[in-house]
Amino acid sequence: MKLFFKPKGVRAEYRYIPTAHGKLKLLIVKPEQLNGQTTGVLWIHGGGFATGMAEMVYMGRAIDLVTKANSVVVSPAYRLSLRAPYPVALEQCHQALVWMKEHASELQIRDDQLMVGGESAGGGLTAALCLYERDHDGVKIAFQMPLYPMLDCYDTVTSADNHAPIWNTRRNHQAWKLYLRKLDKSQPIPVYASPARCKDYRGLPPCYSFVGNIEPFYQETVDYIDNLKKAGIDAKLDIYPDFYHAYDMVRDKKPLAKKAAENFLACFCEAQNSCFREQKKESDNRTD
Per-residue pLDDT of the chain (288 residues; tens, 9 = 90+): 345 677 888 999 999 999 999 999 999 999 998 878 999 999 999 999 999 999 999 999 999 999 999 999 999 999 999 999 999 999 999 999 999 999 999 999 999 999 999 999 999 999 999 999 999 999 999 999 999 999 999 999 999 999 999 999 999 999 999 999 999 999 999 999 999 999 999 999 999 999 999 999 999 999 999 999 999 999 999 999 999 999 999 999 999 999 999 999 999 999 999 999 999 886 555 444
Contacts 24+ apart (CB under 8 A), 98-107: 98/138, 98/139, 99/17, 99/26, 100/40, 100/42, 100/74, 100/139, 101/139, 101/279, 104/37, 104/40, 105/37, 107/28, 107/30, 107/40, 107/72, 107/74
pLDDT at 36: 83
Q: How many residues in the chain?
A: 288
Residue 40 lies in a domain: yes
pLDDT value of residue 287: 43
Quote the pLDDT of residue 1. Answer: 39
Spell 87-118 as b/e; 16+ CB within 10 A means b.
bbbbbbbbbbbebbbebbeebebbbbbbbbbb
Q: Which CATH number does the domain housing residue 266 bear?
A: 3.40.50.1820
d(CA 245, CA 261): 15
Compute how many other C-beta atoms are within 10 angstroms of the C-beta atom of residue 267: 19
Q: Is the pTM of this model over 0.75?
A: yes
The SS3 of residue 278 is: coil
Residue 152 in any domain: the answer is yes
Q: Is residue 284 part of a domain?
A: no
Structural domain span for residue 270: 10-182+190-279
Count of CB atoms within 10 A of residue 154's CB?
12
Does 119 reside within a domain? yes
Query: Rounded distance, CA 100 to CA 113, Å?
Result: 11
Residue 213's CB is within 10 A of a number of other CB atoms, namely 14
**How many folded domains does the chain comprise?**
1
In sequence order, the 6+-apart residues with CB closer than 8 A to the CB of 239 are: 210, 211, 212, 213, 218, 222
Dist. CA 188–CA 154, nearest whole Å: 12
Q: Look at residue 157 and tell me if it is in a domain.
A: yes
For residue 3, is it within any domain?
A: no
Residue 284 pLDDT: 58
Beta bridge partners of 15: 26
* Domain presence at residue 1: no
Which amino acid makes up residue 220? Answer: E
Q: At what angle do helices 88-102 and 121-135 cross, to 10 degrees?
A: 70
Q: Examine residue 267 and state whether it is found in any structural domain, yes or no.
A: yes
